[in-house]
Amino acid sequence: MSATLAPTPKNSPVPVSEAPDSPAPSGLEIIAPVRDETSAPGWFLARAEAAWAEFQKLPVPSVKDESWRYSNAKNIELGLHSPAISATEAQKQQALAASEGLKERTARFVFVNDELIESQTDALPAGVVCVSFAEALKSHGDVLKEHFMKREMTLGSAKFAALHLAHVKAGTVILVPKNVAIEKPIEVFHWVVGDHAAIFPHTLIVTGDNAEVSVVDHYRSLDGEGGLSIAIADLVSGTGSRITYAACQELADDAQALHLSSIVAGRDSNVKSFQVQLGAEFSRSETVSDLVGQGARSDMLSVSLPIGEQVVDQRTLQNHMAPHATSDLLYKNALYGKSRSIFSGLITVDETAHYTDAYQTCRNLLNSDEAEATSLPGLEINADQVKCSHGATSGPISDEELFYLKARGISDNESRKLIIEGFLADVLKRFGNSEVLDTLVARIDEKLERAV
């Protein structure tokens, strides 16, 4: 795949050199976005344009920034990347063939380099909107305007979010009307191909009252070349509705991934979000869960299995803004080689958010002498009628456990694999949906084969 830059368009709204009173972004080569002004609504173009200026203005976060402590924003090598250009026909076909995940699903989308290759939406119930991002800009601009990237990026990646907004053109928008339950999941594949190609996939899920939907996003590289994915998912749940969302990141070993999710949990709703970090040399996830409605529940789950020199960086916020809400976070990392994991999570409870139940647990299993796990769990509690706790552990596989399995004739490697599967299983089990679960377990097993 050629590595040429996308041609600078004639109508580029804000060329780099003319960006309003902004110094040249430090060493960044990401070029000004190309936009189709004929199909996107004016508000979107204005926001995208403002975001591009914002991106150029904002400094690259440094390790001195509290939200990048123990990590390094320079790991996201913007300087090396260019927005992905159209893949070849052969590559598209290859990606399509490799887009295997769930056996049964309600709809499927396949994107290659932010270009929609296939959409199967025949099985959707009436009234459901499930379209590509580009299509939604045309057909459901109003809903998009109401919910698209409305949350402030407080966990450190405002610069990258601005870049996403400036470049976003692919992804899915799923609107489920009230009382409609979509039984089988919707599956979306985002492929990246080409040297240092960057993609900016977006997912927006909005559910009406008592609606139900589950969505799985896969982020993959078509070949082993380094790519960059800066993805954002916005989940907005209506009263009594249920959303389950999984982001399964399996980019190539030398790719970089940034996955920013925001959750707005409405009254009595139930949102489960799942981060599976398997690929990329550096992957960072930021998940903000705003519990805005009474009785809301947000489950935030994550599994990672870094090997070699992979770095997994996880930042979370459980933001309790309404009383009687529950949030429960469980992140598990099994580390190998010289890999590193960073977990930084915060529970905040507003003064009015009484009867909050909030939990946060991060567990690290260190499987090599050089792996390193850092945990920064946090609590900021401003109301007194609460039950909040966090816990963080790190340690090796216990010798007794290993001995027990080996005494039964299971090899050392196989024993370790079993123990790690068990370690990760209780997170996976909480996902509920067995279809999705099977897929995820299969992907994790695959990675585990490489790790052990």
Partner 1 sequence: MVTAPDNDISDIKVDSVGDFTFPERNKYDSGFGITEKTVDFIADVKNDPDWIREFRHKALKIFQSKPMPTHWATKDLENIKFDEFRYYLSDGQKPKRSWDDVPEDVKRTFDRLGIPEQERKFLAGVEAQYDSEAAYSNIKAAVEEQGVIFVNSTEGLHKHPEIFKKWFGKVIPTGDNKFSALNSAVFSGGSFIYVPPGVKVKHPLQAYFRINSEQFGQFERTLIIADEGAELMYMEGCTAPKFETATLHSAVVELVAMKGAKIQYVTVQNWSSNVFNLVTKRGIAHEDAEVRWIDCNIGSRLTMKYPGVIMKGKRARGEVISIALANSGQHQDTGAKMVHAADDTTSNVISKSISIGEGRSTYRGLVHIPKHLKGCKNNTECDALLINSNSRTDTYPAISVRGNQHSTQHEASVSQVSADQIFYLMQRGLSEAEAMSLSVNGFINDLVKEFPMEYSVELKRLIDLEMEGSVG
Write out the residues near partner 1 by the rule CB under 8 A: 64-66, 69-70, 351, 354, 364, 366-397
CB of 272 to partner 1, least distance (A): 24
Provide the token pair at 127.
Answer: 């009234």
**Kind of pairing between the strands at 107-112 and 115-120:** antiparallel
CB of 334 to partner 1, least distance (A): 11
CB of 247 to partner 1, least distance (A): 26
Among candidate residues 386, 270, 379, 381, the one with its CA nearest the CA of residue 316: 379
Among candidate residues 212, 248, 253, 192, the one with its CA nearest the CA of residue 438: 248
CB of 344 to partner 1, least distance (A): 9
CB of 191 to partner 1, least distance (A): 35
Q: Which is nearer to partner 1, 183 or 380 (CB)?
A: 380
Q: Which is nearer to partner 1, 330 or 397 (CB)?
A: 397
Q: Which is nearer to partner 1, 27 or 396 (CB)?
A: 396
Handedness of CA 42, 47, 49, 50 (dihedral sign): positive
CB of 357 to partner 1, least distance (A): 11
d(C-alpha 233, C-alpha 390), whole Å:
25
Q: Which is nearer to partner 1, 184 or 406 (CB)?
A: 406
Using alpha carbons only, what angle is made at residue 338 by residues 332 and 340, rounded to the nearest 5 degrees? 40
Q: Which is nearer to partner 1, 180 or 349 (CB)?
A: 349
**Kind of pairing between the strands at 340-349 and 372-381:** parallel
Q: Which is nearer to partner 1, 60 or 222 (CB)?
A: 60
Half-sphere exposure of 152 (CA within 13 A, CB side): 2
In Å, how far from its chain's centre is CA 301?
11
Q: Which is nearer to partner 1, 136 or 325 (CB)?
A: 325
Coil, strand, or helix at residue 334? strand
Among candidate residues 63, 102, 95, the one with its CA nearest the CA of residue 441: 102
Residue type, 262: S
Residue 204's φ and ψ, nearest 5 degrees, are: -125, 125
CB of 163 to partner 1, least distance (A): 24
